[in-house]
Every structure is written in structure tokens, then in C-alpha cells.
Amino acid sequence: MAEPTTTGEETRAAKPGRRRRRRGTKKAAAVRRGAAKRRGPKPGARRGRPAKNGRRRRPASGLLSLSEIGRRTGISYPTLVRYVKLHGVRLPHRGSGRSRRFLPAAVPIFEQLRRESRRGRPPRAVTAARGAVDGALARSLDRIEAGQRQLLRQIRALVRSLQKPLRVSVRR
């Protein structure tokens, strides 16, 4: 006698405590099917946090953000941030923090900083010389640590000898 087969619905109804494992989200499934559209701001839409009165702040005319300076000069954003940290006093700007904007006169200064800075990583000869210096420092540090260990052994021996009872003999 064959047992009747059960459908998925009956199995789920029979075991209400067990849930079916989900494989991804609806959005992931839509992407797998190729049905998802890219959503984002409309072209020309402005981004940014609205001002307290509900209206968006307008950027001050003629001032440039680091992204805009990067587009004009070809300098990467992280490098521009580094220049601002190191040479912020030389750069004409308005505001502070994320709302800092730079005057157009700052563009030639950024370009000058780029020309003056070293490019890329140091050559291998320089790193090898640094390694030799680091090796000499490591050897000196090892000698100092060995001296400290020896001194610590001597101090422990002295403490042990002082902890022994003192024998006093008097001769007449």
C-alpha cells in the first residue's frame, strides 16, 4: 500500500514551527532575473542635506570643493585631503570641515604642491637603506634588553641575599 504524497502546503501546515529558509531578498531575486532598474537621483538633481528652514543651501558662487579641484587638476581626492591637512594655512578657503570650499586661487597652489611633492613610493635602494638602519637599531635594542635582563638577575640575587637571616657573631 503506497502512502499518499504531501504537497508543500500540507507540509508547512503540518509543521507550523518550521519556516522555510529564504534565499536572498526580493531585490536580489529581481537582480538575478534582470528585472531591477537602477534607481538614483534624476540627472541634474541636487544632493545634500536641507537647511534648517527646509530649503537646500546653495554653494557660494566661485568657491570650489576638493572634488571639483581634483577634476580640474587631475590630483586624486585622497592626495588633496593630505595637502589640506599638511598645508591648510597656505590654501585660501572659506568654512571648515565638510563645508570647506576653496577659492579659485587655491588651484595653482595645489598644482605647486603636487610639483613639489615626491611621487609614488620610495625606490628600493632607499627602503634597503632604511632596512639597514632599522637593523642597526634592532641590534642596539637587543643589546639594551640583554643588559636589562642581566641587571634584573643581579637585583633578584641581591634581594634574595638580603632576605636571608643575618648572622651576627661577636668575639671577645
Of the two residues 32 and 141, the one the predictor is more confident about is 141
What was the pLDDT predicted at 77? 94
How many CB atoms sit inside 10 A of residue 83's CB?
21
User: How do 93-94 and 101-102 pair as beta strands?
Assistant: antiparallel
Whether 109 is covered by a domain: the verdict is yes
Whether 9 is covered by a domain: the verdict is no
**Average pLDDT over the chain, rounded to whole?**
75
What was the pLDDT predicted at 59? 55
Q: Judge if 154 and 136 occupy the same domain.
A: yes
Q: Where are the beta strands (DSSP E) in 2-143?
A: 93-94, 101-102
Of the two residues 87 and 5, the one the predictor is more confident about is 87
**Can you tell me the distance from the alpha carbon of 42 to that of 135, in angstroms, rounded to the nearest whole number?**
58
Q: Judge if 75 and 109 occupy the same domain.
A: yes
Whether 70 is covered by a domain: the verdict is yes
What was the pLDDT predicted at 47? 58
Question: CA–CA distance from 91 to each of 60, 71, 79, 100, 108 (Å)?
Answer: 17, 17, 14, 11, 10
Whether 2 is covered by a domain: the verdict is no
Query: Domain tally for the chain?
Result: 2
Q: Judge if 133 and 106 occupy the same domain.
A: no
pLDDT band at 104 (very low <50, low <70, confident <90, very high): very high
Q: Judge if 100 and 74 occupy the same domain.
A: yes
Q: Whole domain around residue 152: which residue ranges? A: 126-159
Whether 77 is covered by a domain: the verdict is yes
Per-residue pLDDT tens over the stretch 26-77: 666 665 566 545 555 555 555 555 555 555 555 557 899 999 999 999 999 9
Whether 25 is covered by a domain: the verdict is no
Contact (Cβ atoms closer than 8 angstroms) between residue 66 and residue 32: no
Helix orientation angle between 66-73 and 77-87, rounded to the nearest 10 degrees: 110
Whether 35 is covered by a domain: the verdict is no
Q: Judge if 70 and 98 occupy the same domain.
A: yes
**Can you tell me the distance from the alpha carbon of 88 to that of 83, in angstroms, rounded to the nearest whole number?**
7
Whether 56 is covered by a domain: the verdict is no
Average pLDDT over residues 100-113: 93
pTM of the model: 0.39
